[in-house]
């Protein structure tokens, strides 16, 4: 992972103790939570967020190690620095949680999301949708004479921008996966 | 070599191998195979409670008074849902208990079967961890891991849900030694740099105070010993939360008494005025801090806690130390001694002088006059007449609980069992049963209010059946005293539903259960009546009729800081402002 390898449950970590802990500023953080893939583990994580009133902006989960039965949950959350610290330490308390990484403070990270967009229309609008899709490097994965389904991958902001452009061009349905994220570099 | 046995037998075997000698429980359809195994052995005593909530509180009482995990066994559906209050109570007070629940057979889960409930779903937020065991081969491993999780790190309740077919089927048994508990290993040792920083702060501090909590008791008797050594060697005054009473002896010279909403004046003033606060195994609960923005404004705060999420949760900490209280205190002592046992003696002596001035306020002063027993007087007499005994005290929740905390003195840890975090009325009686089971020859007293006590009065049957001589000392004011007090101070003296009408005759009630009842309403008779209670070899219900409208003081009103305590009945008018009224 990142150079600042944070041990589970640790709080004496300079990277976040340097910031004022009780500031009112809302921050957006991407957390990678490594868990045992056992029944109920997602419910434990989600229940923590709902039970303690934390925000979930995006959530993705999948088993990433089929032999070791480990899953990776990527949560994008917002809160004051104190709330973010609480979220991390509270997650660390859950027994099947092995590691909590705050990708926002542990150095640079890549964040990607996949979106599927169904756009209907004819004539100029249809041609414009296709042209914009090319600019955004979106693929056409389904087509009829009056519709396209585009597949687009990128940072969440790019997908937001694509959605804004498609809306006047006949956007009828969107599916998004939520963010998956990894730290940059070799660690 | 793994042994083959049925799941039901595995449960009993695993409990034995974990050193369990007592289980509190109530049978039902989904746990019949386990009860069948219990019937065929004599190593584990089963205490039949009269309600599953009682089983869990009894297990809590057992755990708090021994330091060992308490065990409860209940059936599926209503058995499990009745256990929820006890689990939540244990979670908030960090009490290690293991609750085993029966479940409908695996092939019927999800079919809305008879007595089916989503037990792991319901109890997920009120346990430290829980498991639904779907294979008999996993059962013994799970039970051993459950004991490990319940007792390691910050202790807490765990639950294992065992479907009936898993109990009937055979599988491989693994012993505790062979079980894998590697995935949950909390950090025990504190960071030495932070500990050194704290020692430096102790050396320089002019107005230091120790603020200790239940974590000291949970860490074990050695932690209490180390705390005493550190406090007495440094001469730093010490206060404690409700949960931490007994870790430092009430007779100790540095003892300030309990702090918080109904804490002692000198304790709260010391917290407000200190320049170094050393929080040891406590969590800055709202009953402790009062108004956060005005909480101990000038102090540097050190916080020792095994749970990283406790640190900076409520109050910003300057010196955080994550680790087990016992380990950290040992290191603090070592470092402090190695650096030459320095302390800012002149300043600390001056600070002690200031504290002595605060002591002179005599905040627990009350006047026993006339023919009506003051509740404070009843507790004080109980204290005087029992303090020499090998004594354990449990309480229910309310005014009586605060008076017991204020007027009784605890010399040792694990002697005081009360529902602090959740504030569970009905906790004390079943807890006293659990304590008495663990300490059959000791004097076990439940200080109760009549309203709390009625919430789990069915456990009289348990006390009588198992000949448990628990003393139910009921301060009967025919009111929900604490609710009444808040209505008086906060809701214009409109006493909405805060009186106990149609109360039973407690003496007759005791006799109906085959126990002894004592009634006392005269201060002159009180001592004799208490002695009669102590000397009776069997369970007693002591109905002590007390002043009906006594309020519990001192009091920090909601939304006020420590230095704005109410000391007595004078000037309570308008003490709580509108902002405080929304707080509880």
Per-domain residue ranges for chain A? 14-106, 110-183
> Which tokens is B148 given?
């490990």
Spatial distance between the Cα atoms of A71 and B507, rounded to a whole number of angstroms: 61
The total of other beta-carbon atoms located within 10 Å of residue B48's CB is 14
Fold entry, domain A14-106? Alpha-Beta Plaits (3.30.70)
Residue B24 host element (H or E): strand B22-25
Q: What is the pLDDT of residue B584?
A: 64
Active-site hit among B402, B482, B533, B565: B482
Catalytic site includes residue B482:
yes
Is the predicted pLDDT of residue A162 greater than 50, yes or no? yes
Domain B3-173 falls in which CATH fold? Rossmann fold (3.40.50)
* B115 noted as active-site residue: yes
Residue B417 among the catalytic residues:
no
What letter does residue B191 receive in the DSSP assignment? P
Which member of B114, B185, B316, B569 is catalytic? B114
Residue A116 and residue A177: Cα distance in Å, rounded? 9
| pLDDT at residue B583 is higher than 90 | no
Q: For residue B580, what pLDDT is reported?
A: 61
CATH 3.40.50.970-classified regions of chain B: 3-173, 375-545
Contact A89 B320 (CB under 8 A): no
pLDDT of residue B559: 83
Quote the ipTM score: 0.91
Contact between chains at B149 and A93 (C-beta distance less than 8 A)? no
Tens of pLDDT, residue by residue over B66-104, are: 999 999 999 999 999 999 999 999 999 999 999 999 999
CA distances from B141 to A67, A98, B147 (A): 20, 19, 10
Which residues of A touch chain B, with CB atoms under 8 Å apart?
9-12, 21-22, 36, 39-40, 43-44, 47, 51, 82, 85-86, 89-90, 92-96, 98
Task: Tell me A118's DSSP state.
Answer: E
- Please give the average per-residue pLDDT across B192-208, as a whole number: 98
* Annotation says B41 is catalytic: no
Do A110-183 and A14-106 have the same topology in CATH?
yes
Q: Which helix (H) or strand (E) holds B171?
A: strand B170-173
User: Starting at the edge strand that comes first in sequence, how are the strands of the sheet with B319-322 ordered?
Assistant: B255-258, B238-240, B208-212, B276-280, B300-305, B319-322
Which of the residues B9, B13, B24, B52 is marked catalytic? B52
pLDDT digits (tens, 9 = 90+) for A48-104: 999 999 999 999 999 999 999 999 999 999 999 999 999 999 999 999 999 999 999
Q: Class for domain A110-183, per CATH?
A: alpha beta
Q: Is B437 a catalytic residue?
A: no
A11 falls in which pLDDT band (50, 70, 90)? very low
DSSP B230-287: HHHHHT--EEE-GGGTTSS-TTSTTEEEE-STT--HHHHHHHHH-SEEEEES----HH
- Would strands B391-395 and B416-417 be described as parallel, antiparallel, or unpaired? parallel
pLDDT in tens, A136-150: 999 999 999 999 999
Contacts of A98 in chain B (CB under 8 A): 183
- Which position has the higher pLDDT, B311 or B571? B311
Measured distance CA(B488)–CA(B171) in Å, rounded: 62
Q: Which CATH number fits domain B192-359: 3.40.50.1220, 3.40.50.150, 3.20.20.70, 3.30.465.10?
A: 3.40.50.1220
Confidence (pLDDT) at A10: 46
Assess contact for B428 and B55: CB atoms under 8 A. no
Predicted confidence at residue B558, as pLDDT, reads 81
Q: Where in chain B is the domain with CATH 3.40.50.1220?
A: 192-359
- In this structure, how many other beta carbons lie within 10 angstroms of the beta carbon of residue B336? 22
Model confidence pLDDT, tens digit, residues B527-555: 999 999 999 999 999 999 999 999 999 99
Best of A7, A12, A22 to disrupt the B interface by mutation (most B CBs within 10 Å)?
A12
**In the predicted model, what is the mean pLDDT of residues B12-26?**
98
Q: What is the mean pLDDT of residues A105-124?
A: 95
State the Cα torsion B60-B62-B67-B71 to the nearest 10°.
-70
Across the interface, whether the CB atoms of B125 and A47 are under 8 A apart is answered yes
- pLDDT single digits (tens) B230-250: 999 999 999 999 999 999 999
Decide if A95 and B313 are in contact by the 8 Å CB cutoff.
no
What confidence tier does B575 reach under pLDDT thresholds 50, 70, 90? low
Among residues B132, B184, B126, the alpha carbon closest in space to that of B157 is found at B126
> Does the beta-carbon distance from A11 to B320 stay under 8 Å?
yes
Structure confidence at residue A18 (pLDDT): 45
pLDDT digits (tens, 9 = 90+) for B462-517: 999 999 999 999 999 999 999 999 999 989 999 999 998 999 999 999 999 999 99
Q: Which CATH architecture has domain B375-545?
A: 3-Layer(aba) Sandwich (3.40)
For A87, name the nearest residue in chain B, comparing CA atoms only.
B309
Place of tokens 């009588």: B464
- Are B48 and B463 contacting, i.e. CB atoms less than 8 angstroms apart? no
Query: Is the pLDDT reported for residue B194 higher than 80?
Result: yes
Region B438-461 average pLDDT: 98
Sequence-distant (6+) residues with CB within 8 A of A164 are none
d(CA A50, CA A28): 17
- Do residues B195 and B321 touch, judged by C-beta distance below 8 A? yes
pLDDT in tens, B349-407: 999 999 999 999 999 999 998 999 999 999 999 999 999 999 999 999 999 999 999 99
Rounded distance between C-alpha atoms, residue B225 and residue B565, angstroms: 32
């Amino acid at each position: 992972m990142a150079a600042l390898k944070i041990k589970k449950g640790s709080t004496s970590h300079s990277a976040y103790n340097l910031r004022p802990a009780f500031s009112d500023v809302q921050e957006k953080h991407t957390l990678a939570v490594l868990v045992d893939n056992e029944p109920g583990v997602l419910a434990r994580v989600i229940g923590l967020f709902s039970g303690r009133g934390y925000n979930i902006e995006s959530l993705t989960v999948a088993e990433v190690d089929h032999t070791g039965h480990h899953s990776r949950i990527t949560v994008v959350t917002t809160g004051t620095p104190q709330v973010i610290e609480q979220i991390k330490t509270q997650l660390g308390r859950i027994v099947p949680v092995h590691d909590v990484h705050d990708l926002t403070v542990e150095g640079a990270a890549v964040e990607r999301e996949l979106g599927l967009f169904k756009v209907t229309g004819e004539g100029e609008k249809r041609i414009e949708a296709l042209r914009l899709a090319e600019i955004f490097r979106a693929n056409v994965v389904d087509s009829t004479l009056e519709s396209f389904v585009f597949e687009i991958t990128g940072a969440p902001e790019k997908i937001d921008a694509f959605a804004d452009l498609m809306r006047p061009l006949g956007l009828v349905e969107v599916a998004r996966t939520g963010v998956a994220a990894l730290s940059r570099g070799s660690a | 070599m793994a042994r083959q046995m049925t799941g039901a037998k595995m449960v009993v075997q695993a409990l034995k191998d974990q050193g369990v000698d007592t289980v509190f429980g109530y049978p039902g359809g989904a746990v019949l195979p386990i009860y069948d195994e219990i019937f065929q052995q004599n190593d584990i005593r089963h205490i039949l409670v009269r309600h599953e909530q009682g089983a869990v509180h009894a297990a809590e009482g057992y755990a708090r008074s021994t330091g060992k995990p308490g065990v409860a066994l209940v059936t599926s559906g209503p058995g499990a849902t009745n256990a929820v209050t006890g689990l939540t109570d244990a979670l908030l007070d960090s009490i290690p208990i293991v609750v085993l629940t029966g479940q409908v057979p695996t092939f019927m889960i999800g079919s809305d079967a008879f007595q089916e409930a989503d037990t792991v779903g319901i109890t997920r937020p009120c346990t430290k961890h829980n498991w639904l065991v779907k294979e008999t081969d996993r059962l013994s491993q799970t039970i051993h891991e459950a004991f490990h999780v319940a007792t390691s790190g910050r202790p807490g309740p765990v639950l294992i849900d065992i479907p009936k077919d898993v109990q009937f089927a055979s599988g491989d048994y693994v012993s505790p030694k062979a079980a894998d508990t590697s995935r949950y290993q909390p950090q025990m040792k504190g960071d030495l740099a932070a500990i050194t920083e704290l020692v430096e702060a102790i050396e320089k501090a002019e107005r230091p105070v120790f603020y200790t909590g239940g974590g000291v008791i949970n860490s074990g008797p050695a932690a209490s010993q180390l705390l005493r050594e550190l406090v007495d060697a440094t001469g730093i005054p010490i206060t404690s939360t409700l949960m931490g009473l007994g870790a430092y002896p009430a007779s100790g010279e540095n003892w300030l008494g309990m702090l918080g909403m109904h804490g002692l004046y000198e304790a709260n003033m010391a917290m407000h005025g200190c320049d170094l606060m050393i929080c040891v195994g406590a969590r800055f609960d709202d009953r402790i801090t009062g108004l956060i923005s005005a909480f101990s404004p000038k102090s540097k705060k050190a916080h020792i806690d095994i749970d990283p999420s406790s640190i900076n949760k409520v109050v910003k900490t300057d010196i955080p130390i994550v680790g087990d209280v016992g380990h950290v205190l040992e290191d603090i002592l070592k470092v402090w001694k190695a650096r030459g046992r320095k302390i800012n003696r002149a300043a600390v002596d001056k600070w002690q002088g200031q504290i002595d001035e605060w002591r002179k306020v005599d905040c627990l002063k009350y006047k026993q006059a006339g023919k009506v027993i003051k509740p404070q007087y009843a507790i004080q007499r109980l204290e005087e007449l029992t303090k020499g005994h090998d004594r354990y005290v449990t309480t229910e929740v309310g005014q009586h609980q605060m008076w017991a905390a204020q007027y009784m003195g605890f010399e040792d840890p694990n002697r005081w069992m009360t529902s602090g975090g959740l504030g569970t009325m009905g906790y004390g009686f079943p807890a006293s049963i659990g304590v008495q089971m663990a300490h059959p020859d000791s004097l076990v007293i439940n200080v109760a209010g009549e309203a709390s006590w009625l919430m789990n009065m069915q456990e009289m049957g348990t006390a009588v059946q198992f000949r448990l001589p628990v003393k139910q000392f009921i301060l009967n004011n025919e009111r929900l005293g604490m609710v009444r007090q808040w209505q008086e101070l906060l809701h214009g003296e409109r006493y909405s539903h805060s009186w106990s009408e149609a109360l039973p005759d407690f003496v007759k009630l005791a006799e109906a259960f085959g126990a002894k009842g004592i009634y006392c309403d005269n201060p002159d008779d009180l001592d004799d009546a208490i002695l009669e209670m102590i000397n009776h070899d069997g369970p007693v219900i002591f109905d002590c009729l007390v002043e009906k409208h006594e309020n519990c003081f001192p009091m920090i009103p909601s939304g006020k800081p420590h230095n704005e305590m109410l000391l007595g009945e004078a000037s309570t008018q308008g003490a709580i402002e509108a902002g405080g009224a929304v707080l509880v």
